[in-house]
Chain A
Amino acid sequence: MVRRLLFLAGIVAAALLAATLLGPSLRGVAHPLVPQGPDGTYQCSTCHGPGADPSAIPAGTTVPLPPPDHAAYKPDSCVTCHATVVAQDPTTPSYALCATCHGQKDKLTKLPDGETLQVSVDVAAFRSSVHGDFSCTECHPKQRTIPHAPLTAADLRAFKQEMGNVCQSCHAEATASYAESFHGMAARLGVSRAATCTDCHTAHAVKAPAQWTLAERATQCATCHTGATASFASGWMGHREPSLGWFPMVFFASKFFVALTALTLGVGIVHVELDVLRWSSNKIRGRKEEVDQ
């Protein structure tokens, strides 16, 4: 009995110790999850504001008070400066935070080579894209800090190519097939104008194949292939191997040419070999080649 009590006490003590050790470090890293209003704005005042809701504040924490000059700041402006509070937690959908700046129209920045980079993002289109419930920082981890660190890419094309790797980290199959495609091959061999993932798919309005119309695809192709039509776009197989159900004509063509090549070269090689054999056998037996006149 005493032993059992000691055992229980030990477990409780260990748990308390762990909680004390882990507690402060957890608190130091992650700010508590910040609730969002229906329009996406962060509700900082729930905990920090005048009239804070004590029940919302996690137990064992003390909420620092905003400095007095903060009285001037509007409630929806907090994240523009305190971005890390929300951006550090990857489970927090931070698009609203990023949207406070990037949702504005016609925002431009200059790249090191002088080209302009349009940094406005159509947030509505992004929200209805296949990645709509992703946090922006899932693809843009470097931009968690605000203001952002200076850009490393020298020009627009380099920026796109660098960013193209982002898609590859999650879509391994598409990436493998892209690498074998004409564009992937060209890009690998240093042709900077060859299409990257986002040249075809866009960066922030990516659609699932079924929702992605040929006309929309053609618009993307046409940025490089002047005059591209829906018919032209329909010829791109995506990232699947041809099969009976997917581009059967390509499937048949590749089978046909493999057979044709094997047959023709096979006959040619056998012909050469037989010729050599007969010639050698003539030589060995000391016979002359005779022709049926």
Chain B
Amino acid sequence: MPAPPGVAFPRPAPAASARTARAEYVERFDVHQRIQHILMLASFTVLALTGLPQKFDQLGLSQWAIAVLGGLETVRLIHHSAAWVMLFDCAYHAAYLIASVAVKRRLPLGAFATPRDFVDAWRTLLYFLGLSRKKPAYDMFTYLEKFDYFAVFWGIAIIGGSGLVLLFPVAVTAILPGYLVPVSFVAHSDEAVLAVGWILVVHMFYAHLAPRVFPFNTSIFTGLARRDDARREHPRWIARLAKDASKDG
């Protein structure tokens, strides 16, 4: 699942201070972000498992899956239910962003790209190719994590939008042109394959297989990251936390 939104807190949120007081850990995701990730993970998995067999219905495996789940009509019902869960999750996230602005009086920009991210990406490439000895120091979220997050925005816009067109084709075409339905058909299934491919290859690698986190990066579920790990992976974030703490001090 893509990294949930980062709200780059200037200092540890007060409620979290008790947990993070154990200096070993730093708070990385608050409770809303963790719930949002679980909802996204669950709905995405169900949507993929009920959607892919419909796209690749000629495969024996798909036909087996559809039969096991109780036939195409049931599969579609499950797919639509999971879609509503995902849309709810998006609404929850939008409300969360708005609330963060209202309460904290600042835009939660931590997970949005900055020019620095492009520099980081370039320098990481140099490092991968052996043209640089050192990896750049990342902030709370690396450029790749930010891309993961941003990809959900575009993914939801395309898959969610086209999905709603397919769910209400008659109502939609009453206002918009009819060719939108076959366009949505193409967009929905192709973008879904992209999303599933990305999750399986890139997201799963960085959440589970990458040597730094193997076998499982738990911070999106516990909300906590080990300070040592974070210092290595997100040095600029930890440095900022330390600076803020001393300023408050």
Residues of chain A touching chain B, judged by Cβ–Cβ distance below 8 Å, are: 182, 185-186, 188-191, 225-229, 231-237, 242, 247, 249-250, 253-254, 257-258, 260-261, 264-265, 268-269, 271-272, 274-275, 277-279, 281, 289-293
Contacts and interface: CB of A to CB of B under 8 A. Distances in A.
A226 B170 contact: yes
Given A190-B72, A229-B170, A275 B186 contact: no
B71 A190 contact: yes
Contacts of B63: 189
Interface residues of B, number: 50
Q: Dominant SS at the B interface?
A: helix
Contacts of B134: 290-292
B133 interface: yes
A256 to B, nearest CB: 9
A235 B201 contact: no
A247 B179 contact: yes
Contacts of A225: 169-170
Q: Most chain-A Cβ atoms within 10 A of its Cβ — which of B123, B170, B197?
A: B170
Contact of B179 (A235, A279, A289): A235
Given A261-B194, A293-B235, 11 more contacts: A227-B171, A228-B170, A232-B173, A232-B181, A236-B181, A250-B183, A257-B194, A261-B190, A269-B201, A272-B206, A290-B134
A257 B63 CA distance: 26
Nearest to B236: A293
Contact of A191 (B72, B127, B170): B72
Contacts of B66: 189
Given A257-B191, A264-B194, A290 B133 contact: yes
A257 B127 contact: no
Nearest to A254: B186
Contacts of A289: 135, 232
30 contacts: A188-B57, A189-B57, A190-B72, A191-B72, A225-B170, A227-B170, A227-B171, A231-B174, A232-B173, A234-B179, A235-B177, A235-B181, A236-B181, A250-B179, A253-B183, A257-B186, A257-B191, A257-B194, A260-B191, A261-B194, A261-B197, A268-B202, A269-B201, A269-B202, A271-B144, A278-B129, A278-B130, A279-B211, A291-B134, A291-B135
B190 to A, nearest CB: 4
Q: Dominant SS at the A interface?
A: helix
Interface in B170-214: 170-171, 173-174, 176-183, 185-187, 190-191, 193-194, 197-198, 201-202, 205-206, 210-211
A254 B63 CA distance: 25
Q: Top 4 A-B pairs ranked by shortest CB distance?
A: A235-B178, A257-B190, A234-B178, A274-B128
A261 B193 contact: yes
Interface of B: 54, 57, 63, 66, 71-73, 123, 125, 127-130, 133-137, 144, 151, 169-171, 173-174, 176-183, 185-187, 190-191, 193-194, 197-198, 201-202, 205-206, 210-211, 232, 235
Nearest to B177: A231
B72 A189 contact: yes
A274 B135 CA distance: 13
A231 B178 contact: yes
A225 B127 CA distance: 57
A250 B72 CA distance: 25
Contact of B137 (A232, A235, A272, A291): A291
